[in-house]
Amino acid sequence: PGKPVQTFRGPLLHFLEDPGLDTTPAPGSYDYFEDGLLVEQDGHVEAVGPAEDLLPHLPEGTKLAHWPDHLILPGFIDTHIHLPQLGVMGSYGAQLLDWLEKYTFPAETRFQETSWAQSQAALFLDQLSRHGTTAALVFCTSHPQSVDALFEAAEARGQAITGGKVMMDRNSPDGLRDETVASHRDSQALIDRWHNKGRLQYAVTPRFAPTSTPRQLELAGKLVADNPGVLMQTHWAEHLSEIEWVKELFPDRSDYLDVYAHYGLLNDRAVLAHGIHIDDHDRRRLVDTGARVAFCPTSNTFLGSGLFDLKSAHDAGVTLGLATDVGGGTSLSLLPTMAEAYKVCQLRGQSLTPFQAFYLATLGNARVLHRDNEIGNFAAGKAADFIVLDPTATPVLAMKHEQDRNLFERLFDLMMLGDDRVIQRTYIAGHCRFDRDSHCGSEKR
């Protein structure tokens, strides 16, 4: 009994563990099936493995989609992105603090209009699907209606979204700045309304230390303490002028990370975006508390923020994610994000293998969000959130695909030369939510 089974056949890759930074991935860290089969039922993964093993056991009349020339992967996960910043992408000529004032704060102010928040939320989630991203950790704006808009749209799509209302009660303009007590009250009401409703989860979201009063950070810490299971997301150590400003605003704290620790915000549910200008003492504190860092390479190079030290963080044992940081980031796709991460590593004399990059974008990011029991790979029982990639989507990719490529090379081609054009289909909980040729067809709810 139960809902009908759907199966998806083709080359299939997913990760089981961190493959490490070496050119040769750690043994047993991934499964790749040249002719694989994904069996889905009721929105979940029923089984995955070689097609020849699984096909004989399927019930008569099972629906089969065959993608022999494609690649089936778990959906990409974005561990740091801003709902209100689609229109801010690619804004010219400014670094972080000026960029916030000149472009970002004005764009976010418009989210006080509920109808704008709702239409942007729908556009945002449709764009994530187009780019193969099936789950994300999202900054909304300081307006509670921006969170309602995002969660209503995500709920309708059955999508695993974690998000929160930005808390910012100083150093920001009228219409965007919130009020200390109301910010806490509104955040708690949103947690009560949305946290753990279906696939939705809440993240307490103080923007970053400079835009919150000490009292607001204290109340953010109270939200974290009062609501076990919610995440906490903020920005940290992105730009040198930001770090100087934090020193001035919080003279009693030993360093930037100590500000968040002091207010009870640093634990294993904390996701800190950037963490570029940091040292070994910071890394040890991240490991000791379990706090995570989201590496946002296209944002870091676009805003001129700096080069993240991936190897030091990985070697220290910091839990790492990969994220777009749109609209500081210049692409919604995790593929160009991997490419930029590779280039940042090159500039530091390091490297990023395609195995590590695809691990980060899937299982690694699921771990950052504490959702690896639900998403990140095709372990039985997880959500059937997956994508079908077309490795010949562009003439150059097609040309390279003609050559005799091993898996490492094929993944590296996709990561360096791919983008949303290679996303053929995106499935969320077994439902087709995007098809490049508009053929989701009867599978679309």
Point out which residues bind Zn ion (CB under 5 A).
273, 325
Q: Does 82 bind ligand GUN (CB under 6 A)?
A: yes
What amino acid is encoded at 419 in this protein? D
| Token pair of 107 as six digits | 């764009």
User: What does the angle CA 73 – CA 231 – CA 102 come to, to the nearest 5 degrees?
Assistant: 90
Beta pairing partners, 234: 272
Of 209 and 415, nearer to ligand GUN (C-beta) is 209
Does position 143 bind ligand GUN by CB under 6 A? Answer: no
Burial of 312 (0-12, 13-18, 19+ CB in 10 A): middle
Among 282, 325, 413, 435, binds ligand GUN (CB under 6 A): 325
Using CB under 6 A, pick the residue from 6, 7, 79, 104 that binds ligand GUN.
104
Q: Per CB under 6 A, does 295 bind ligand GUN?
A: no
Q: Which does 266 bind (CB under 5 to 8 A by kind): ligand GUN, Zn ion, none?
A: none
CB of 166 to ligand GUN, least distance (A): 8
The per-residue b/e assignment along 189-208, b for 16 or more CB within 10 angstroms, e otherwise, is ebbeebbeeebbbbbbbbbb
Main-chain dihedrals φ then ψ at residue 108, nearest 5 degrees: -70, -30
Q: Which does residue 142 touch among ligand GUN, Zn ion, none (CB within 5 to 8 A, set by kind)?
A: none
The secondary element (H helix, E strand) that includes residue 262 is helix 256-262
- In single-letter form, the type of residue at position 369 comes to L
Please tell me the number of Cα atoms within 13 Å of 365 on its side-chain side: 33
Distances (CA, A) of 346 to 49, 340, 350, 352: 35, 10, 5, 8
Least distance from ligand GUN to the Cβ atom of residue 220, Å: 14
- Is 328 a binding residue for ligand GUN by CB under 6 A? The answer is yes
Question: Least CB distance from residue 325 to ligand GUN, whole Å?
Answer: 5
Q: Given the complex with ligand GUN, which of 54 and 149 has the nearer CB atom? A: 149
Tokens representing 285 are: 């504190």
From candidates 208, 260, 412, 434, binder to ligand GUN by CB under 6 A: 208
**Comparing C-alpha atoms, which of 56, 52, 35, 47 is closest to residue 7?**
47
The option from Zn ion, ligand GUN, none interacting with 70 (CB < 5 to 8 A, set by class) reads none
What are the φ and ψ backbone dihedral angles of 232, each rounded to 5 degrees?
A: -130, 130
Residue 207, interface with ligand GUN (CB under 6 A)? Answer: yes
Among 100, 153, 261, 414, binds ligand GUN (CB under 6 A): 100
Q: Do 167 and 207 contact (CB within 8 A), yes or no? A: yes
Which residue, judged by CB position, is nearest to ligand GUN in the bound state? 328
Query: What's the min distance (Å) between Cβ of 235 and ligand GUN?
Result: 4
The footprint of ligand GUN on this chain (CB under 6 A) covers a number of residues equal to: 11
Q: Closest Cα partner for 179 from 226, 216, 154, 228?
A: 216
Helix residue spans in 263-385 (DSSP H): 280-289, 297-302, 310-316, 334-347, 354-359, 365-368
Q: Using the rule CB under 6 A, which residue among 18, 238, 372, 420 binds ligand GUN? A: 238
CB of 168 to ligand GUN, least distance (A): 9
Query: Which part of the chain contacts ligand GUN (CB under 6 A), choosing from 96-104, 218-226, 366-374, 410-418?
Result: 96-104
Nearer to ligand GUN, 238 or 413 (CB): 238
> Least CB distance from residue 275 to ligand GUN, whole Å?
12
Q: Pick one of ligand GUN, Zn ion, none as the site partner of residue 216 (Cβ within 5 to 8 A by kind).
A: none
DSSP state letter for 75: P
What does the binding site for ligand GUN look like in residue numbers (CB under 6 A)?
Answer: 82, 96, 100, 104, 207-208, 235, 238, 299, 325, 328
